[in-house]
Amino acid sequence: MTSTPVDLSHHLSVEARLRKPNAMKQIWRLARRKPNMISLANGDPHSSLYPIQSMTFSVASVAEKDPVATWRAGGSSAPTHSITSSRDEAPVLPVRTAFQYTTGAGLLDTQEAVTELTRFYHNPPDHIATLTLGNGDGVTKCFRLLGSPGDHFLADEFTFSALANAAVPHGIKWVSVRIDEGGLIPEELEKIMENWPEERGPKPHVLYTVPCGQNPTGSTLTVERRKKIYELARRYDLLIVEDDPYYYLQYVSKASSEEAASVPTGSESSLSPRGLAPSFLSLDVDGRVLRVDSFSKVFAPGMRLGFITSSPFFHAHLVALTDSSTQHPHAFGQLFLTELLGPAGWTLAGFDAWVRSLRDEYQRRRDLFLNIFEREVAPLGLVRASVPEAGMFVWTQINVERHPRFRREGGGAEGPCTNCRQLMEELFEVCLDNGLVVMPAWVFALPTDPKYDGPENSIEDRMHYFRLTFAGTEEAMESGLKVFGQSLKEFFADKPKAVEN
Ligand SMILES: Cc1ncc(COP(=O)(O)O)c(C=O)c1O
């Protein structure tokens, strides 16, 4: 795919415009101008003083047909693959190189490794990688890069609040977009942009979205919706911050495997060549997508490593932010990742084998969860579970209207029109009393504005959801869903509690 550069510099935040590049890092870059440059410039500890002789990683072998199943079944005797990087020698990154200072983009070899990864799955034109400490870091950096006080950003009405909250102290105001089981509804996004009232302030210019296995709803955008949303982004000059930690955990549905199988060689499938939904990044011809990737869900959350893929323009500003704050991520993770993806490690093909096998494992867990749900909870007729096509979450919808104390109150100018929220708080308490913790919808809800959204559309009236996960153990699913069913029964029976003496 080719791209036409579009000037998107007007999207930069006041903070990003005011920031000067780190002058010392600029001099530091000049040290690379010639080989064997003598440096009396930087106070870099000499590599002979690093107290690390070598680092050896013993990781799961990916030579087996189903590496994750073999790894789990084998316990401490499961087949492993060993990679060693010593002080002066390594397949790719010796310790002495990995542990030096580098630019905010990360070590060159690591940048190359993740760029290859992105090319393999997304093949975007003219994009460049900036290493991060995971998607929490990546997304919040994007917010700081693009958001000034008074700006409006768009997001799904239920969204990953840990990060949405991070935008608020920068003066960014959220505008929620209505969703359904398929995630963000493009027509709702269009309605907001088309009918934006001038007196509300500047028009939104950033969309934050989680396209696969959305947190909390578990929804995944169809290819058609992705294309529509990207076209709307072009029409209304929106940037898209694509937070996609669950990309590799896209489950194989009957429809997707039939589609992949039915595409004749040489013709186009709506899925990417890897059988995964095309990311916004892969559709991006203008450089308006900042894609945020993480290794938390495919390796381990403690990796604290990820990367942003963006146009070179936004990359330069992300590097300036990083150069003057956290600096590049830790060498431990960068070295591990570079060697793992390199010729002596798993290589890209091995990584692909691992993530496919991991996806199968999570899909097995999802199916188990849904089977238990069908047995223990669904027959009550009080709650419905959506079937996630990716990720780790099941969004359950409580049939709150069946509760004896459910009220439709007509609503005032401020909304809400029902007592949905209050009843859900009570149900949450019943679950807690019975020893079960679930994630209530209000944790993820972006507030609606009665003035612009209308009191009849208050998010408070759509709080009848709980997020449950199948990422845990089978025992947790079995016993947790039993308690969930009992709690629902108890709550809907609405018997006054016996007073304890
Ligand atoms: C949508 C979403 N974004 C970001 C994160 C944070 O990811 P990381 O561990 O890479 O910081 C999570 C973690 O649960 C998530 O669900």
Taking the centre of ligand 1 as the mean of its atom positions, its distance from the CA of residue 486, in whole angstroms, is 31
pLDDT surpasses 90 at 268: no
Is residue 331 a part of any domain in this protein? Answer: no
Query: What tokens does 67 get?
Result: 């590496």
**Residue 391 near ligand 1, beta carbon < 6 Å:** no
Calculate mean pLDDT across residues 241-270: 75
**8 Å CB contact between 285 and 4:** yes
Listed in sequence order, the residues at least 6 apart from 191 whose beta carbon sits closer than 8 Å to its beta carbon are none
What confidence score (pLDDT) does residue 264 get? 57
pLDDT in tens, 57-112: 999 999 999 999 999 999 999 999 999 999 999 999 999 999 999 999 999 999 99
**pTM for the full model?**
0.95
- Domain of residue 391: give its range: 354-493
What confidence score (pLDDT) does residue 42 get? 84
**Residue 301 near ligand 1, beta carbon < 6 Å:** yes
Taking the centre of ligand 1 as the mean of its atom positions, its distance from the CA of residue 32, in whole angstroms, is 35
Taking the centre of ligand 1 as the mean of its atom positions, its distance from the CA of residue 404, in whole angstroms, is 38
How many independent structural domains does the chain possess?
Answer: 1
Taking the centre of ligand 1 as the mean of its atom positions, its distance from the CA of residue 242, in whole angstroms, is 12
Is residue 229 a part of any domain in this protein? Answer: no
- Alpha carbons within 13 A on the beta-carbon side of 162: 8
Residue 461 is part of a domain; what is its CATH number? Answer: 3.90.1150.10
Query: What tokens does 64 get?
Result: 């087996």
Query: What tokens does 260 get?
Result: 């992949």
What confidence score (pLDDT) does residue 454 get? 83
Taking the centre of ligand 1 as the mean of its atom positions, its distance from the CA of residue 135, in whole angstroms, is 5
Query: What tokens does 129 get?
Result: 């990688």
Separation CA 296–CA 291 (nearest Å):
15
**Residue 245 near ligand 1, beta carbon < 6 Å:** yes
Taking the centre of ligand 1 as the mean of its atom positions, its distance from the CA of residue 210, in whole angstroms, is 10
Separation CA 470–CA 474 (nearest Å):
8
Instruction: Select from 139, 142, 160 the residue to mutate for testing ligand 1; criterion: most ligand atoms less than 8 Å from CB.
Output: 160
Taking the centre of ligand 1 as the mean of its atom positions, its distance from the CA of residue 343, in whole angstroms, is 29
Instruction: Select from 131, 133, 135 the residue to mutate for testing ligand 1; criterion: most ligand atoms less than 8 Å from CB.
Output: 135
Is residue 132 a part of any domain in this protein? Answer: no
Confidence of residue 410 (pLDDT cuts 50, 70, 90): low
Q: Whose CA is nearest to atom 7 of ligand 1?
A: 135
**Residue 218 near ligand 1, beta carbon < 6 Å:** no
Is residue 364 a part of any domain in this protein? Answer: yes
Is residue 46 a part of any domain in this protein? Answer: no
Is residue 152 a part of any domain in this protein? Answer: no
Is residue 362 a part of any domain in this protein? Answer: yes
Is residue 156 a part of any domain in this protein? Answer: no
What confidence score (pLDDT) does residue 473 get? 94
